[in-house]
Chains A and B, each alone.
Chain A
Amino acid sequence: MKKSWSILTILFFALSCKQNYDIPLSAVAADLLVVEGYLTGSTQGTTILLSKSVAGSAEFTRNPESGAIVTVISESGTVQPVDEIADGRYVSNNIVLDASENYKVHIQTKNGNAYESAFVPYIQTPAIDSISWRREDDDIQIYANTHDPQNDTRYYRWDYDETFEYNSFFYSNYEYVNGSVIRRAFNNIFTCWRSGVSSNIFIGSSAKLTNDVIALAPILRIRNGEVKLSVRYSIAVRQYGLTKDAFEYWERLKKNTEQLGTIFDPQPSANKTNITCVSNPAEMVVGYISAGAVNSRRIFITNAEVQPWNYRAFCEEITVPEDSVEHYFALGIFIPTQEWSGVFTRLGYYASTRSCVDCRGLGSNVRPSFW
């Protein structure tokens, strides 16, 4: 319906005209520091991501902020550094945080500006009870379940790393090496693994309940037929306890950034932050710092458990006569799969395009350590 609305807009403004509108310079929020981080002493380690915003109309690339000095400071005054490993990723695996303390992050960017978060409490995030899944319609919906015996946490956020194993459409016994087709010693391009991280926001709250129990908080949904479950799928969900304030931040962020505004879209509005620029309090900062324990849990789902799973790839095999192998295989667009045999002789090879034979186009053939 959205699309028809905008066509409608153009129509009913038949006499209208559309001109470019440049956001007034005073309103451009480019080069704002963006801070993302959850301070934790868990084995996950503390990662703080620093980047800069770009103007709304600018070509968009992630704009990391390197060269900052990042420290975590407790209310009692202990200071622990978090060092940059690359591209605005500041990581510390040996930070020690005390559940009874409040912490803040202090950031000095390379241009000399200092930023600080508010002091945030260290949330004793309970463990994930289980990551469950079930069939919903034809899809697989994954849920997180947890409870806090202390009835203390109440607000949760989850993100995940996912990995799935998949196969090439055709199994290849041959390869083209130095101008001739030879039998493969070992096919390492049939099975691969691909990993990803969550890009959506998953939050949940038990604030309305008498007990702090989260049952079946929806995380990811895998549509029937997706490649993710064509062989085997694994998801590692991380659970973060939040304060109420932080929960509202994430909730707003989720709603605000679902879509860009057209005239018929809902009106978004600015989100709050708990980070301020100390050296220039008027400067806007984006992001929200929280602290607490991070718990993680991994599950596996195999294709056999989710049958029927209508995964379909569309690949065709061609036949390549013996005298044409160079023509077909030299450029690497086609890869031989099997021998094409006549009654008495080999006529050539069956072959298919690289993406149908070599799984490495989408992932890696290195088996993950946890697989």
Chain B
Amino acid sequence: MRISPLLIAFLFLGAYQASAQRPVSVTGTYHESPISLLVADIESQTGFRFYYDPLQVDSLRVTYAFRNENLNTVLDKVFTGNGFFFTIVDKRILISKGRRLQASLPAKFFNPSVTDTSLNVIVENVDPLSPRPAVALLENKVYEIGSTRAETKSGVSTLAGYVRDEKTGEPIPGVSIEVDKIEAGVATDQFGYYSLSIPRGRHILSIQSLGKKDSRRIVQLLSDGKLDIELAEQIISLKEVIISANKASNISNVQMGVDRLNIRSIRQVPTAFGEADILRVVLTLPGVKTVGEASTGFNVRGGATDQNLILYNDATIFNPAHFFGFFSAFNPDVVKDIELYKSSIPSKFGGRLSSVLEINSREGNKREFSGSAGIGLLTSRISFEGPIKKDKTSFILGGRTTYANWLIGLLPDEFENSRGSFGDIDAHISHEIDKKNNIYINSYFSRDKFNLNSDTSYGYNNTNVSLKWKHIFSNKLNSVFTTGYDRYNYNIQSVRNKVNAYKLRFDINQYFLKGDFNYYLNADHTIDFGFNAIRYKLNPGNFQPADGESLVATEMVPTEHAMETAIYVGDRYTISSRLAVNAGIRFSMFHYLGPQEIWGYAAGLPKEEVNRLDRKNFGGGDVIQSYNGPEYRLSVRYSIDEMTSLKAAYNTSRQYIHMLSNTTAIAPTDIWKLSDPHIKPQRGDQFSLGVYRNFKSNTIETSLEVYYKNIRDYLDYKSGATLILNQDIETDVINTRGKAYGVEVMIKKQTGKLNGWLSYTYSRTLLQMDDPIAGEVINRGEFYPGNYDKPHDVTFIGNYRFSHRFSLSFNSTYSTGRPITLPVGRYYYAGSARVIYSDRNAYRIPDYFRTDLSINIEGNHKVHQKTHNSWTIGVYNLTGRKNPYSVYFVSENSVVNGYRLSIFGSMIPFVNFNIRF
């Protein structure tokens, strides 16, 4: 290490200047006293503070008497000739053995590009009482955290703060902050907030985040304090497919089966119409499947489509698709990132069995106004963002619309009167009240409407508004309170024939309140606890005349009411650097409330109309039925070395709201049903094991996970069930038992010109209905494959960067065809023709294979220009394979004909133009 003599001289000068500014005096008498006595006296009399290694000075004894002597004189006397040196910097006294200490090096020393010339400010005191926490910008500065007046003891203090984007002021979640090279580490939460409990003293924080430059901060932690960190965007490699927040996090993260994708990686996957589609990318992840292309509902590890909790800024989205699944309901310009929990579901989430998909929108730019827009063949979108009050309040506003009608115009004449449209609007505001309080207002509206040439129009809407308040009690304890209203409704209307013009409406409303607390107990324990409450109000069906002349009789299925509440507590416990545990318990309660009328059924007999007894009336607010139970969430990680870890997880969960669908996808006319005295909650448990290993300094990640899942009281329907406007749905459904198991293998390369991933999934989903009392026995009571049982699935997502402006994305996927029940023959019986059906789901539609290609062309990369634009050109279903979505049968001229329907039965070229301003 070469040190410029001039610089050292300058430093020393600075140090002495500092001490010379304030002559202070010391009084005391010492006889063979340990140095600590003197230190204590000087600190109490002068306010100066000592820094030394107690082991180095334990042999030093002091015998002096001082009376109002100058501090420098005292120190000279004590530390002269015994091999000790002292250095005074500001109000700090540094004691060293053997040579005089240099307090620090200027920032410029290691990083000549930093233009900070104030070399004398090498140590910045971050005063905990200042109105705003200091923003730590420089990597080689030493940030002193905490009060110098506090008693300096060895021990642990807490450091907390926000990590923000340097340019926009937007908080960055999922940033990994590691202390002293992996001794301890945390990741920022969804608000970009972190809290670390570490021993006092000097530490190097390594900060890594996807799409941001890796960075570090040096802190001198004196007591609890705050440190906000700003990160610069990594502009150089635009084309990396990055799936996890930080390198090696797949190894060190205790949770299993968690996938995090940011919008940048989502944008690289080619989609049917060129617009980045969040849910379609989710479908490429191992363990996630769909029954077909025109369905955005997805199945996670053998779970049904309704077993996924889809949270958009904490609001529940019941139908995540536009246009019957052609597009996902989320605007890619507003979404920041998504996180999918397939196995280890944090204890704060509950209410669905299979997975939690968290979708977070961005916060608006807090520094300047900006926007973006995209133009595609079927949809266009635009978004604006900017500060309302600089660095305090910002907004983001996004909208999408479609002009798919031209597509309908290309259809045969019989569709000439058809119309279809959809749109969605996002409006989010974030406001920092003070450094301890932030509020966020999120709202989301989506609308779909189809007027088909047939006499019927369909529409459905999502409406979500929420208010979130983040409050920091202290560095150790923070909280988030969220309250909001979620609504999903659909309606079907037919007015062409005035006599039977009708309107059918369905809606589900929920009001929720939740409080989530994080308590950073110490370096080893982080406690999460909180509560959730959801009040449901569900109108299962309202059939009304749509016209004054209509003779349709009004039919209503009575409104359902219920309350779901839960409390939870969890502990993230680092037992050693190798072993860590996340353990949580959640206790959920469900109350089905009146007013309602409930049929009684004879005990021991199937719940069928013939076995009905009496009808009981319950008044408003009466608790008709309650269910409750604990849910356990446990995951363990054992690191074999820095590149390899083993994980295991056990999870249980309960679900009180069920979607009833006799299609295998999510259709807009699916109804949701609350658990009631006849319909038990679904219960699931999952055990999973995984091995994770990274190669080539974490650039290649591999993982292997196996899981086994039990599903109890999964709701399947009986043969011939009707679901819409069914007054007594319990007579048409049965509780079945399910099991699912599988292996997921993934190889991922995150960096380099060629990046992407290859995943293989083997999975089975089997259901069983063998209780004749509960209803009909399916397939003689044997296990039968679920509708979405697709055992083999191989997906490859690849991206090759030719240059910074030009890259090629490619994906390819293969999966086994899904099961179907076939009408295999016909016969005469009891005076009529009848159909023989195969066992339920005994056959499969042909296998699925698809390849897509897209080329991304970026405009120039000059940082300072008014707009940045890019083009995406590609082909969906490159091989033009006619993948069957469904096989169905119609009776034509007394012959039963089978048809296979392909949704994208040919190559689909697309082009998209995106602009940022």
Contact = CB atoms under 8 A, between A and B. Distances in A.
Given A7-B454, A13-B294, A18-B901, A268 B906 contact: no
B55 interface: no
Interface string B853-887: 00000000000000000000000000000101111
Contacts of A313: none
A94 interface: no
A268 to B, nearest CB: 5
Contacts of B779: 269-270
A34 B595 CA distance: 50
Contacts of B898: 20-23, 56-57
Given A18-B899, A269-B778, A199 B719 contact: no
A107 to B, nearest CB: 15
A268 B837 contact: yes
A223 interface: no
A344 interface: no
B891 to A, nearest CB: 5
A260 interface: yes
Interface stretch (A247-255, A292-300, A304-312): A247-255
Contacts of A264: 662-663, 667
Contacts, number: 246
Contact of A14 (B407, B454, B777, B897): B407
Among A56, A264, A265, A266, the one with the most B-chain Cβ atoms within 10 Å of its Cβ is A56
Among A15, A36, A57, A258, the one with the most B-chain Cβ atoms within 10 Å of its Cβ is A15
A49 B720 CA distance: 26
Given A21-B900, A58-B895, A208-B601, A269 B837 contact: yes
A343 interface: no
A345 interface: no
Interface residues of B, number: 87
A312 to B, nearest CB: 19
A259 B889 CA distance: 11
B823 A1 contact: no
Contacts of A255: 718-720
**What is the interface of chain A mostly: helix, strand, loop, or mixed?**
loop
A264 B721 CA distance: 12
A199 B454 contact: no
Interface in B827-857: 827-840, 842-843
A9 B829 contact: no
A27 B830 contact: no
Nearest to B846: A21
A6 B780 CA distance: 32
A272 B781 CA distance: 11
A256 B720 contact: yes
A198 interface: yes
B722 A266 contact: yes
Among B777, B832, B842, B904, the one with the most A-chain Cβ atoms within 10 Å of its Cβ is B832
B291 to A, nearest CB: 11
Given A1-B456, A13-B294, A32 B843 contact: no
Contacts of B833: 60
Contact of A266 (B420, B719, B896): B719
A336 interface: no
Given A257-B832, A262-B890, A15 B900 contact: no
Interface string B397-440: 00000000001101100010010100000000000000000000
Given A12-B324, A14-B408, A267 B294 contact: no
Contact of A270 (B602, B839, B887): B839
Nearest to A265: B662
B821 interface: yes
A287 B827 CA distance: 10
B455 interface: yes
A261 B889 contact: yes
Contact of B899 (A21, A28, A258): A21
A11 B838 contact: no
Contacts of A269: 719, 778-779, 821, 837, 839-840
B825 interface: yes
Contact of B843 (A27, A49, A200): A27
Contact of A34 (B324, B411, B722, B829): B829
Interface size class of A (residues with CB under 8 A): 35 or more
Given A17-B906, A28-B825, A257-B835, A11 B418 contact: yes
Contacts of A14: 407-408, 410-411
A238 B830 CA distance: 13
A331 interface: no
Contacts of A9: 901
Contacts of B450: 8
A23 to B, nearest CB: 6
Contact of A204 (B610, B721, B884, B885): B610
Contacts of A271: 837
B824 interface: yes
Contact of B903 (A16, A29, A253, A270): A16
B823 A208 contact: no
Contacts of B619: none
B900 A18 contact: yes
Nearest to B325: A12
Contacts of B834: 253, 256-257
A75 B901 CA distance: 53
A7 B908 CA distance: 23
B720 A266 contact: yes
A87 to B, nearest CB: 11
B550 interface: no
B780 A12 contact: no
Contacts of A208: 601-602, 605, 610-613
A117 interface: no
A49 B827 CA distance: 12
A13 B837 CA distance: 27
A209 B610 CA distance: 10
B492 interface: yes
B118 interface: no
A19 interface: yes
A30 interface: yes
Given A11-B408, A24-B843, A32 B901 contact: no
Given A256-B835, A263-B663, A56 B828 contact: no
Interface string B589-625: 0000000000001100100001111000000000000
Given A4-B454, A29-B824, A267-B821, A261 B895 contact: no
A195 interface: no
Given A19-B900, A56-B825, A270 B836 contact: yes
B770 to A, nearest CB: 13
Given A12-B294, A23-B898, A197-B831, A4 B455 contact: yes
A117 B420 CA distance: 56
A269 B775 CA distance: 13
A1 B722 CA distance: 13
B897 to A, nearest CB: 6
B558 interface: no
Interface of B: 294, 323-324, 326, 407-408, 410-411, 415, 418, 420, 450, 452-456, 458, 492, 494, 601-602, 605, 610-613, 662-663, 667, 717-722, 772, 776-780, 821-840, 842-843, 882, 884-891, 894-906, 908
26 contacts: A1-B492, A11-B415, A11-B418, A13-B903, A14-B411, A15-B905, A18-B899, A19-B902, A20-B897, A20-B899, A27-B822, A29-B838, A55-B826, A56-B836, A56-B889, A57-B898, A159-B831, A255-B718, A257-B834, A262-B889, A265-B662, A266-B721, A268-B840, A269-B840, A270-B836, A272-B777
Given A59-B895, A60-B894, A208-B602, 10 more contacts: A17-B882, A29-B824, A56-B824, A159-B830, A159-B831, A201-B830, A255-B719, A266-B719, A266-B720, A286-B827
Interface of A: 1, 3-4, 7-9, 11-24, 27-30, 32, 34, 36, 49, 51-60, 62-63, 159, 197-201, 204-205, 207-209, 248, 251-272, 286-287
Counting from the closest, the 6 A-B pairs by CB-CB distance are A208-B602, A255-B720, A29-B825, A17-B905, A29-B824, A269-B840
